[in-house]
Structure 1
Amino acid sequence: MRNPSVDRLLLAKALRGFADGFVSLLLPLHLLHLGFTPFQVGCVATTTLLGSGALTLLAGSHGGRYAWRTLLLAATGLMAATGLALASLEGFWPLMLVALVGTINPSGGDVSVFLPLEHALLSASVDPKRRTAAFARYSLVGSLSAACGALAAGVPALLASSIGVDLPLAVKWMFLVYALVAALAAVVYRGLPRTHEGAASAPPSRLGPSRRRVHLLAALFSLDAFGGGFLVQSLVALWLYQRFGLSIEATGTLFFWTGVLTAFSYLVAVRIADRIGLVRTMVYTHLPSSLCLLAIPFCTEVSWAIALLLVRSTLSQMDVPTRSSYVMAVVTPPERTAAASVTSVPRSLAAAVSPALAGYLLGVSAFGWPLVVGGAVKIVYDLLLLAMFSKVRPPEERTEPHVTRVRRR
């Protein structure tokens, strides 16, 4: 049976993913047009992640006092204001302020105040046995829409070449589109119920019995996010431009296909998790993708670098729906909003440190040191996660003996 709340969450996710897809690529181009250095671009990316972390923490720790719909509508208002500010401001410090309090997403993924709210609502809307599949659909929709957004990043260049519009001006128009998408998302969220029946008996609260487990997961996820901060989509696009001269149109096409591959990998992740468990799925798909990262800077031809990026995109994000499902499964229902926030916020804060470092490294050398450092950190995270949580299994895995071993024919 279809759930109207889930359908609305997926539609809103698609709208936001599309907007994030083109903003993550156009943001560094816009900043370079304004005369910013690669280090300053990295500082803006760092500030956006710091701001996202603070807002996400507020949503998780105090969100239980308000209806989820109210908070989601407030977040779309902030998103619209962010787009309008990006289109009108040009100074470094004013844009740093927008990055801190706004919803700019330099990663191409979902690092925002929307995340804990939608995760908690999604978990309350589905049966536990269908939770991982629901998160896979949620992630799939986000990646496909972000991939389409990456293609849309080529619109300013198309307008500049076809009708003679000034390229920096066309980029600013896209930030106005970002604000328009926020308004459309608000219309979708307005259709959500003020209170959700799946959460009526267990209203959101702060962490309780699962506190230690959630804090340990948050620490591990932060390590992963620190490595991922070296690889935010904006800075990878900047590296491809510096190293190989890849245009924004070609980069947008590349990230479209990486987004498509990533999206369908979520569905594969569900099947793998059903056989070997959530934690092993996270680790065994993540390790090979990190090895690809280590190899990319040594490519002397852009074709090899693109091939490795495509292979990585097929594997690297299988841990996204499985990780979200795992966190929701190993805590009590009243703790879910807080758990989603606590495991997301340190990720944002840890990821906020590395883009500035990556920008500095790109300013020093075009070799691709951010990819090497990011890949190495992620490998350490994978090994620690497997060692610490391989025996902490969700309830549905404990009750189904076929999980964690290959089914016999």
Structure 2
Amino acid sequence: EDMDRAFGLQGAIYILCNALGSLVGFIPPMLMSSYGFTLQHSYWLVMLFSMAFFLADLPFYYLAIRSSPEQEGNGEGFRFNLKSKDVVVKFSFLYMIQNIAFGFFGLFPYYVNTKFGVKSDALGGLFFVSRFVQAGGNAVAPRVAKRLGSLKTISLALGLTVPFWLMFPIAPSFLWVSVIYILRLSIASISNPLMPSYFYRLLHEDEKATANSLTTMAATASNVVSPRLGGYLMENVSLEAPPVLGGGLYLIYASSFYLLFRNEGEDEGSDVVENA
């Protein structure tokens, strides 16, 4: 329960900061209209500012790591033969499905620009509002999980997003796409802090770093595939193919999550790792 709250708070703070960052979309049009910048030069300036903020983050990461007590290792290092290997394999499979489906949202600016002619300022406004909604979902997730249990909450939140995926192709305007986008995100964000929290509770204590590395590798591999697949579908099949595929994959994602972990038991603060 404490881990749910920690991930929820961390996610909410991160998303609120991300919301402020989404307002950067208003800067290129302003530079072009008020200061005579070209489109290319205005985006280069934004990228330089973004790089400066990224570099400014590094000392804070260092201070956070220095101030946290480091647990002693067991001397075994990275290994594939884990006691929690079933849990790692299941989550790796789930993260791959999630990222392949979610690749559509990496192409979302291209999608709305091609379909409705939307520019970066309108997208910045949408992302700004949606991030606040997403932060709210992260904040309430621990309370929902306390009532329903993490497994049911995650599965239900993921499953309820499926209809919204399928609404994108029939949306008649950018306004409707924005409403669908925000509603889908508000529901899906409830699962965001609960997934890693649930994952870590199923692991043996001395295997968490290795398990996280393995699932991250699986997620990264699928992240390489998903934009290319989405772009291919948009160019060669239909502009609407990726959201339809995403809806189908999220249905598989939600049902698979429940089926794979239904025998692990609900985790009301107890150690369920022996079932892994």
- TM-score normalised by the chain length of structure 2: 0.90
User: Equivalent residues in 2 for 1:212-361 (5 A)?
Assistant: 212-232=86-106, 235-361=107-233
Q: Deviations over 1:13-39 (max 9, x none)?
A: xxxxxxxxxxxxxxxxxxxxxxxxxxx
* Cα contact 1:206–1:338 (8 A) shared by 2: yes
Q: How much does 1:204 deviate?
A: 8.8
In structure 2, distance between residues paired with 1:342 and 1:201: 18
In structure 2, distance between residues paired with 1:320 and 1:152: 25
Letter in 2 for 1:331: L
Q: How much does 1:344 deviate?
A: 2.2
Letter in 1 for 2:28: P
Q: Which residue of 1 aligns with 2:42?
A: 170
**1:141 maps to 2:20:** no
Q: How much does 1:394 deviate?
A: 6.3
In structure 1, distance between residues paired with 2:261 and 2:237: 38
Q: Which residue of 2 aligns with 1:186?
A: 58
Q: 1:337 to 1:366 in 2, by over 3 A?
A: same
Letter in 1 for 2:170: F
Q: How much does 1:222 deviate?
A: 1.1
Specify every segment of 5 or more residues in structure 1 that has no aligned partner in the other structure, as ranges. 1-128, 400-409
Q: Secondary structure at the match of 1:231?
A: helix
Equivalent residues, number: 270
Pick the aligned partner of 1:370 from 229, 239, 242: 242
In structure 1, distance between residues paired with 2:59 and 2:76: 24
What is the identity percentage for the equivalent residue pairs of Structure 1 and Structure 2? Answer: 23
Q: Secondary structure at the match of 1:206?
A: coil
Q: Which residue of 1 aligns with 2:84?
A: 210
Q: After superposing the two structures, state which structure 1 stretch, 386-395 or 310-319, moved more.
A: 386-395
Which structure has more RCO (C-alpha within 8 Å, separation ≥ 6)? 2
In structure 2, distance between residues paired with 1:236 and 1:204: 43
Letter in 1 for 2:259: A
In structure 2, distance between residues paired with 1:307 and 1:364: 28
Q: Deviations over 1:262-284 (max 9, x none)?
A: 11101111111111111211110
* Cα contact 2:26–2:124 (8 A) shared by 1: yes
Letter in 2 for 1:209: K
Q: How much does 1:201 deviate?
A: 6.6
* Cα contact 1:227–1:354 (8 A) shared by 2: yes
- TM-score normalised by the chain length of structure 1: 0.62
